[in-house]
Amino acid sequence: MLIVKKFGGSSVADKERIFNVANRCIEDYKKGNQVVVVLSAMGDTTDELIEKAQSINPNPPKREMDMLLACGEQTSVALMSMAMASLGVPSISLNAFQVAMHTTSKYSNAKFKRIDTDRICSELDLGKIVIVTGFQGINKFDDITTLGRGGSDTTAVALAAALGADACEIYTDVEGVYTADPRIVPNAKKMKEISYDEMLELASLGAKVLHNRSVEMAKKYGVTLVVRSSLTTAEGTIVKEVKGVESMLVSGVAVDKNTARIALIGVKNSPGIAFKVFDLLAKHNINVDVIIQSIGREDTKDISFTVDEAQAREAVQILKENKERLTIQKIMEEENVAKLSIVGAGMQTHAGVAAKMFEALFDVGVNIRMIATSEIRITVLINLDDVDRAMKAVHDKFIDD
Amino acid sequence: MLIVKKFGGSSVADKERIFNVANRCIEDYKKGNQVVVVLSAMGDTTDELIEKAQSINPNPPKREMDMLLACGEQTSVALMSMAMASLGVPSISLNAFQVAMHTTSKYSNAKFKRIDTDRICSELDLGKIVIVTGFQGINKFDDITTLGRGGSDTTAVALAAALGADACEIYTDVEGVYTADPRIVPNAKKMKEISYDEMLELASLGAKVLHNRSVEMAKKYGVTLVVRSSLTTAEGTIVKEVKGVESMLVSGVAVDKNTARIALIGVKNSPGIAFKVFDLLAKHNINVDVIIQSIGREDTKDISFTVDEAQAREAVQILKENKERLTIQKIMEEENVAKLSIVGAGMQTHAGVAAKMFEALFDVGVNIRMIATSEIRITVLINLDDVDRAMKAVHDKFIDD
């Protein structure tokens, strides 16, 4: 069997953990499997490198930033190979050039175009464990690119797809994907399996287990993922195309506290204004999430939407500068809000799910500020203070019931 | 003019020094020159990486060691480019792959085979300062190699040769090459120029200004070097083929305190024994320096030689294990010795230089333990305690006279 195993930065943060990972890989190797390991940079290395760069240039060129950051994973893979050597197992580390992993040219946020498998396959055929740098690639100029935060997950999935691997295991510091955050909802359950679509909704809603792009890629290429812990031998959660079996009505409850609500009051009720607002924000790379438009007084309307908390200030600034042109009377920003979502493929065939969710929230006295839905998801915006109570109530209603 | 400028680790050890180097390069750039900068790893980075590696594997695979160490220079060049960007000057960092710098396959001690100049030239043509990682290359497997300590000097010279540069400046923390160590001989003088051969003898004898291999390469390709300080604007020393002018009788005095003397007493006086001794040491990569053989009592002889202090213990151990086979009666090791050398191209045409040196030493009561000579060098082994006194006396005799 050919297995791709990906370990995040905290799994290789120090000597002890490096040997822990080495031993887990060697275990599979000694059973006769071919093993490809994808690593992130050790512990806080990436943050430290970013800090170092910014002390020299607060706004460093992205190409040079990628050149710098790539050292993080290169250090991890070289040290891992040394650890395996000391355990008597042949291995080789490979960076993005050596593989080679070709990406688009966009620095700091590149996407994979093509992965060569010749070098990896020939090293595997020589009986070596192959240790690959996550997060990075090369573009058509032979320059180093990075995939953005969480990109090592994507590297693992892309490699698994390119190599036709039998398994792709994503190791993290939790034992799998849970029905809710176990720190808030003590009776949250680990899921045995979950569909790509459900995982995508959960990931984008703040259940920070898997990088979203990696799940999209896994879905596209049909790579079955296993999310499991690098510290225990528990079985983990399988992410795959769930077909034929009846889907759970609601598979998980997710919370995103890093959200802010912006309200534009008294916007002129004429065609094209909403387009102008969101086109302007998109041009500044501000991701708008839930949007609600309501009739205001006289011939005006109010537009509310949520953005990532980190982008809220910038969004407000841009809107203020264009207040006249966009006919906005007043701009309001609120940060003490959170998104609570339920996700489940079963929603598609069951009515009344939303009503049941609203009932659960009503029962515990939680006020709903905004609502948005997709085919397999219902999201409500609530006050930040209500989050824990609301999450428990919704989880109890759907999953523990 | 196309100028290659090389800065060592201490010249880029922190933010302030990085900006100092950036400004020096920009100064040349703004005068209309094309500038290629070669950098070592920052400060003690290389030592720290070696320590990290050895904490994981006391004897790490050399291929992986090179993979790890290469991150040191890659970090330097990326940060330097960020510094230049913040000063408003366009630049680009390139690693060994990107240049590309092809070497032999021997990890940790590779030699340059070929340097591609296309990428560098096209970046220079775009008006950028090009910042290149020193010390590293790639081999035919696309694997990273390193050139051994001090290899960044060699990178600079190799680049200057490949690019046909008009100047190759090696920046260090001293102002040039001196007639003796100024800390020991206060009236030592900075040389205005020195020949390749003299520099080679001085470099190999402990005047740690330039890496020996870089001088050999400069000689081979006729690259004129300038050794100067990164902290002052003093003119420095020019290293080139000195022709036509009458060479100085003695251009410099050098001392090497990291030496040990090993004596093999009572070796059987039969052919091939000396060969066996030094062949055995060579096979263990022990560099033997000065060798003296003298007639012992009866039909035995004594063989004395010097080795680097760091290799002395290993050398003795190897010899002990082969004592019988090599017919050695007794092995003696002495570490309180030092090599004192005078170097000068003028020696080739002047007689009596050795006698004059011995006279200087006799005048201050310094005992000579061993003597070795080359065409442009005379080396004596003396007691470590005598070094400073001996150096001053010899310097006064030849240079201050």
Same domain, yes or no, for B138 and B44? yes
Does residue A47 lie within any of the structural domains?
Answer: yes
CATH of the domain at A54: 3.40.1160.10
Tokens standing for residue B316: 């003795």
B chain contacts of residue A61, beta-carbon cutoff 8 Å: 81-82, 85
Does residue B192 lie within any of the structural domains?
Answer: no
Same domain, yes or no, for B300 and B379? no
CA distance B367 to B385: 11
Residue A246 has pLDDT above 60, yes or no: no
- CA distances (Å), origin A339, targets A263, A332, A398, B97, B345: 16, 18, 18, 46, 81
Q: Which of A23, A75, A128 to mutate to test the interface with B (most CBs of B within 10 A)?
A: A75
Q: What is the pLDDT of residue A345?
A: 79
Same domain, yes or no, for B290 and B154? no
DSSP per-residue letters across A185-235: -TT--B-SEEEHHHHHHHHHTT-TTS-HHHHHHHHHHTPPEEEEESSS---
Q: Tokens 């898997």 — which residue? A: A210
Tokens standing for residue A393: 């109530």
CA distance B94 to B137: 12
Same domain, yes or no, for B41 and B124? yes
Write out pLDDT tens, residues B351-365.
Answer: 778 888 888 999 999
Greatest CA separation for chain A: 78
Tokens standing for residue A145: 């690119």
Query: Residue B255's beta-bridge partner residues?
Result: B340
Q: Average pLDDT over chain B, rounded to whole?
A: 90
Give percent above pLDDT 90 in chain B: 60
Among B34, B202, B49, residue whose Cα is nearest residue B131: B34
Same domain, yes or no, for B277 and B367? no
Per-range mean pLDDT, top range of A120-134, A235-249, A292-306: A120-134
Q: Mean pLDDT lowest for which of A31-45, A79-93, A153-167, B309-323?
A: B309-323
Q: What is the pLDDT of residue A118?
A: 97
Does residue B109 lie within any of the structural domains?
Answer: yes
CA distance B383 to B77: 44
Residue B16 at interface with chain A, using a CB cutoff of 8 Å:
no
Q: Mean pLDDT lowest for which of A51-65, A160-174, A178-192, B92-106?
A: A178-192
CATH of the domain at B387: 3.30.2130.10
Write out pLDDT tens, residues B244-291.
Answer: 555 567 888 989 888 999 999 888 877 778 888 888 888 888 888 888
Domain membership of residue B50 as a residue range: 2-172
CATH of the domain at B270: 3.30.70.260
Q: What is the pLDDT of residue A248?
A: 65
Q: What is the pLDDT of residue A338?
A: 93
Same domain, yes or no, for B78 and B138? yes
**Number of folded domains that form chain A:** 1
CA distance B100 to B136: 10
- Residue B168 — φ and ψ, nearest 5°? -130, 105
Query: Residue B264's beta-bridge partner residues?
Result: B303, B331
Nearest to B86 among A52, A57, A65 (CB): A57
Task: Average the pLDDT over B320-326 and give the result.
Answer: 92
State whether B74 and A68 contact (CB < 8 Å).
yes
Q: Who has greater pLDDT, B188 or B205?
A: B188
Query: Collapsing DSSP states into helix, strand and coil, what is residue B114?
Result: strand
Does residue B230 lie within any of the structural domains?
Answer: no
Query: pLDDT tier at A183 (50, 70, 90 boundaries)?
Result: confident
Q: What is the pLDDT of residue A207?
A: 64
- Residue B176 — φ and ψ, nearest 5°? 160, -160
Tokens standing for residue A25: 């890989």
What is the distance in angstroms between the Cα of A127 and the nearest Cα belonging to chain B? 16
State whether A74 and B78 contact (CB < 8 Å).
no
Residue A296 has pLDDT above 70, yes or no: no
Give per-residue burial for A194-231: e unless 16+ CB within 10 Å, then b.
Answer: bbbbbbbbbbbbbbebbbbbbbbbbbeeebbbbbbbbb
What is the distance in angstroms between the Cα of A204 and the nearest Cα belonging to chain B? 33
Domain boundary among B335, B363, B391: B335
Residue B335 has pLDDT above 80, yes or no: yes
- CA distances (Å), origin A38, targets A220, B217, B277: 20, 40, 49
| Side chain identity at residue B354, one-letter code | A
**Contact residues for B48 (Cβ-Cβ < 8 A; gap 6+):** none
A chain contacts of residue B15, beta-carbon cutoff 8 Å: 55-56
Q: Which of A46, A62, A67, A123 to mutate to test the interface with B (most CBs of B within 10 A)?
A: A67
Q: Who has greater pLDDT, A56 or A207?
A: A56
Tokens standing for residue A5: 């195993």
Q: Tokens 């001196």 — which residue? A: B178
Task: Average the pLDDT over A281-295 and give the result.
Answer: 81
Residue A244 has pLDDT above 60, yes or no: no
Query: pLDDT tier at A13 (50, 70, 90 boundaries)?
Result: very high
Nearest to A74 among B15, B52, B67 (CB): B67
Reported as type and span, the H/E element at residue B8 is: none
Task: Average the pLDDT over B202-219 and give the result.
Answer: 80
Query: pLDDT tier at B36 (50, 70, 90 boundaries)?
Result: very high
Does residue A128 lie within any of the structural domains?
Answer: yes
Task: Average the pLDDT over A7-25 and give the result.
Answer: 95
Same domain, yes or no, for B52 and B159? yes
Same domain, yes or no, for B102 and B137? yes
Strands (E), A139-191: 144-146, 167-172
**Contact residues for A209 (Cβ-Cβ < 8 A; gap 6+):** A172, A174, A176, A177, A202, A203, A227
- Residue B144 — φ and ψ, nearest 5°? -80, 135
Number of alpha carbons in the 13 Å side-chain half-sphere of residue B195: 19
What is the distance in angstroms between the Cα of B161 and the nearest Cα belonging to chain A? 24
Residue B361: Cβ within 10 Å count: 20
pTM for the model stands at: 0.82
**Edge-first strand listing for the sheet containing B370-374:** B288-295, B300-308, B252-268, B330-343, B377-383, B370-374
Write out pLDDT tens, residues B43-80.
Answer: 999 999 999 999 999 999 999 999 999 999 999 999 99
What is the distance in angstroms between the Cα of A78 and the nearest Cα belonging to chain B? 5
Q: Give A 64-103 residues with CB within 8 A of chain B.
A: 64-65, 67-68, 70-71, 74-75, 77-79, 81-83, 85-86, 92-93, 95, 97-98
Same domain, yes or no, for B344 and B328? no
Q: Tokens 């300062």 — which residue? A: B129
Residue A277 has pLDDT above 70, yes or no: yes
| Side chain identity at residue B330, one-letter code | K
B chain contacts of residue A74, beta-carbon cutoff 8 Å: 67-68, 70-71, 74
Q: What is the pLDDT of residue A90?
A: 98
Does residue B218 lie within any of the structural domains?
Answer: no
State whether B57 and A97 contact (CB < 8 Å).
no
Give percent above pLDDT 70 in chain B: 96
Tokens standing for residue A90: 């042949």
Residue B303 has pLDDT above 90, yes or no: no
Same domain, yes or no, for B395 and B286? no
Residue B205 has pLDDT above 70, yes or no: no
CA distance B146 to B64: 11
**Edge-first strand listing for the sheet containing B144-146:** B112-115, B101-103, B136-138, B144-146
Nearest to A56 among B68, B83, B92 (CB): B83
Q: Specify whether the backbone of A59 is left (phi greater than 0), alpha (psi in -120 to 50) or beta.
A: beta
Q: What is the pLDDT of residue A351?
A: 72
Query: pLDDT tier at A224 (50, 70, 90 boundaries)?
Result: very high
Residue B349 has pLDDT above 80, yes or no: no
Same domain, yes or no, for B55 and B114? yes
A chain contacts of residue B143, beta-carbon cutoff 8 Å: 98
Rounded to 5 degrees, what angle do the CA atoms B119, B122, B128 make? 105
Query: pLDDT tier at A86 (50, 70, 90 boundaries)?
Result: very high
- List the single residue in A with minimal CA-CA distance to B86: A57
Same domain, yes or no, for B99 and B83? yes
CA distance A293 to A307: 15
A chain contacts of residue B19, beta-carbon cutoff 8 Å: 56
Q: Which of A66, A79, A119 to mutate to test the interface with B (most CBs of B within 10 A)?
A: A79
A chain contacts of residue B71, beta-carbon cutoff 8 Å: 71, 74-75
- List the single residue in A with minimal CA-CA distance to B59: A86
Does residue B219 lie within any of the structural domains?
Answer: no
Per-range mean pLDDT, top range of A387-391, B182-186, B288-292: A387-391
Does residue A37 lie within any of the structural domains?
Answer: yes
